[in-house]
Amino acid sequence: MIAKIMDEKLKIKLSIADRVYPLTIDPKQEEGLRRAAKSIESLAKKFEQNYAVRDKQDVLAMCALQFASKIEQSGIDRSENAEAAIERLKALDELVHSKLGE
């Protein structure tokens, strides 16, 4: 019985750029999707206020580029941080070995 309840889907409607999108989702996705829609709406409003845009598609393309670039940059930053950490660990390993006389 509990497994059946957890398998149930939730039907929600999200409004993005003056269009309503009906979705069937897992209940655990609802908060993230609603926050994402709100972020898109907020960014779209800023683009419309600050730039001369022809239509909603242009605004949505600009939003997609903004969000995608943040994700890509985050991956680049994590990769650079990981490489720096590896280099520090190697240097520390060499220092420990030199102090131990190995």
pLDDT tens, position by position, 62-85: 999 999 999 999 889 889 888 888
Q: CA nearest 56: which of 13, 93, 18, 23?
A: 18
What's the chain's average pLDDT? 89
User: Residue 15 has what DSSP assignment?
Assistant: E
Contact 45, 25 (CB under 8 A): no
Mean pLDDT of 37-51: 93
Q: Are 37 and 53 in contact (CB under 8 A)?
A: no
Q: Is the pLDDT of residue 53 over 90?
A: no
Residue 43 in contact with residue 58, Cβ under 8 Å? Answer: no
**pLDDT for the residue numbered 102:** 62
Residue ranges per structural domain of the chain = 2-100
pTM for the full model? Answer: 0.67
- Token pair of 3 as six digits: 């497994």
